[in-house]
Chains A and B, each alone.
Chain A
Amino acid sequence: MFRYFNDIFSGLWSLFIGLGITFQEFFKPKITIHYPHQSIKMTARYRGHIELIPGEEGQPLCVVCGMCEKACPSNCISIGGEKPEGSKKKVLTSYRLDFTTCSLCGSCVDSCNFGAIRFSKEYNLASTRKEDFHFDLLKRLEESKQ
């Protein structure tokens, strides 16, 4: 008999404690961010899709060694370069990133020995067309220059 009432009272008491906690939470300040109206700054190391780092004159630092191409697990980078006449170095002519298959692992940035690529801070990427995610990074670099 004692146990019967003890169970009822301890049970009820635990329920009231729970109610007390949610009641406290009710008046606490809100912690959410209203995304389209507000947004937070991405951290310095945020891994967005990659982009080329402009050199002093805005030219890409890439030397077309192809390490990023090889390091990529999902083969989403394809670069092209050519040797202009009279020059020893290769010059980047195209840097294509197929963002649809990229898994943002960072292997390409890791593998680059020349510090030519970095992560962008872009995260608002949305489209209904697949082609919108085939980035030409060289073009982006030139656009950012202007």
Chain B
Amino acid sequence: MSLTLINVLAAVIIAIAFVAANAAYLVWAERKGAGFIQRRPGPTENGPWGLLQPPVDGIKLMTKQLLIPGGVDKIIFVIAPVLAMFPSIVSFVTIPFSDTIVAHNINIGLLMIFVFGSMSAMAILMGGWSSRNKYSMISSVRAVSQAVAYEIPMLITAITVVMIAGSLDLMEIVHKQSGGFWHWNIWPFQKGLFNILMPASFLIFFICSLAETNRAPFDLGEAESELVAGYHTEYSSMGFGLFFMGEYANIVIGACLTTILFLGGWDCPFGLFPGVWWFIVKIYILIFTFIWIRWTFPRTTIYSLLNLSWKVLIPISLFNLLLTAGLLKVF
């Protein structure tokens, strides 16, 4: 009993450290990536290549005054940023990085990640609603309708993969894809079923994870040029910092999930040396794509976003679900 407790504690601490380090350095990577795309060097002043920028930013944020504006709903206002960060840390506990590196594998890991994933929309709603700011309120309303619209296609595509794997266990899903890149779920060459819609499914899942994490071009909640800063307009100091880190932690989770479901997890593309490094390489390629997309496209609007979800993503993913089910039955 006590050993399990220590295990879990250690896992949680490692998860927190991993999330925090990732969130901090993803901010650096984002700025550096944005800089390179815009033909400027990005942060350079602190440390070599600006590598000391995240700790400096962190200290700045922590030492700032935590301002609670008058008239806000205090309890909700304070809870919201914690709630933005907490689910992403918990989600990390169930994500397997390799056969052996996993904090606590449970057989409904995927379900649990989705459950905690939906909580981030809750945090945005609470933060925006309690701020007593009209911009924040509009932003939180937007974020919720966005979350509802994008959870559905995301779940449907995930169910497709679950049907192929026959399990909700993330380990199991990866094991089913092992043995070279042609076995990955992204390709339509699954044993016995030639489902040509699988690449589309991958794309849908990727788009949905963009929308779920409130990243550009779906950053309607933040919408800098319309809603100033959206739901975190009124937050200062670490309140803002937690929202910010929560966003980046969600990106990491989105990338991990996409890797596990579609890109074969820690499986090597050529069937050699499977190991945690492949997983890391894959998630960072995906994260780079997140950054790359953000600095390329303009923002969508709320109705074109909902149109995309209800008219394109959901029909296609539903059709794919039916097709996969049929193919599984026939072969």
- Chains A and B share a contact (CB less than 8 Å): yes
Mark out the residues of chain B between 69 and 111 whose CB falls within 8 Å of any chain A CB in the assembled complex.
none
Complex: chain A residue closest to B217, CB-CB: A15
Interface contact A19-B293, CB-CB below 8 Å:
yes
CB contacts under 8 Å to A, within B20-63, are 33, 36-41, 44
CB distance from B292 to the nearest CB of A (A): 6
The answer to whether A34 has its CB under 8 Å from any CB of chain B is: yes
A125 at the interface (CB under 8 A from B): no
A31 to B297, CA, bound (A): 22
Tell whether A8 is near chain B: CB-to-CB under 8 Å: yes
Q: Which residue from A18, A21, A26, A34 sits with its C-beta under 8 Å from B36? A: A26
B116 within 8 A of A: no
Residue of B nearest to A8 (CB): B312
**How far is A82 from B304 in the complex, measured between Cα atoms in Å?**
76
Q: Does B296 contact A (CB under 8 A)?
A: yes
Q: How far is the CB of B12 from chain A (nearest CB, A)?
A: 37
Decide if B40 touches A31 in the complex (CB within 8 Å): yes
Smallest Cβ-Cβ distance to A15: which chain B residue: B297
Q: Is the CB of A23 within 8 A of B292?
A: yes
From B40, B41, B295, A22 is in contact (CB under 8 Å) with B295
Residues of B contacting A34 with CB < 8 Å?
41, 44
In the assembled complex, A41 has its CB within 8 A of some CB on chain B: no
Tell whether A25 is near chain B: CB-to-CB under 8 Å.
yes
Known A8-B312, A15-B297, A34-B44; judge A22-B39 contact (CB<8 A). Answer: no
Most chain-B Cβ atoms within 10 A of its Cβ — which of A8, A19, A26?
Answer: A26
The interface bits of chain A over 1-40 (1 if a CB of B lies within 8 angstroms of the residue's CB, else 0) are 0000000100000010011011101111111101000000
- Check B37–A30 contact: CB distance below 8 A: no
Q: Residue-by-residue, is A94-113 near B (CB-CB < 8 Å gives 1, otherwise 0)?
A: 00000000000000000000
Are A19 and B296 in contact (CB-based, < 8 A)?
yes
Residues in B with CB closer than 8 Å to A26 are: 33, 36-37, 292
Query: How far apart are the CA atoms of A27 and B38 in the complex, in Å?
Result: 10
Docked-complex contact A31 and B44, CB < 8 angstroms: no
A residues 126-142 touching B (CB-CB < 8 Å):
none
Q: Are A19 and B39 in contact (CB under 8 A)?
A: no
- In the complex, what's the smallest C-beta–C-beta distance from A109 to chain B, in angstroms? 36
Name the 10 nearest CB pairs between A and B, nearest first: A32-B40, A22-B296, A26-B36, A22-B37, A31-B39, A18-B296, A30-B41, A26-B37, A19-B296, A25-B37
Name 12 extra pairs, CB < 8 A, besides A18-B296, A31-B40, A34-B44.
Answer: A19-B293, A19-B296, A21-B296, A25-B36, A25-B37, A25-B38, A26-B36, A26-B292, A28-B39, A30-B41, A31-B39, A34-B41
13 contacts between A and B (CB under 8 A): A8-B312, A19-B296, A22-B37, A22-B296, A25-B36, A26-B33, A26-B37, A27-B36, A30-B40, A30-B41, A31-B39, A31-B40, A32-B39
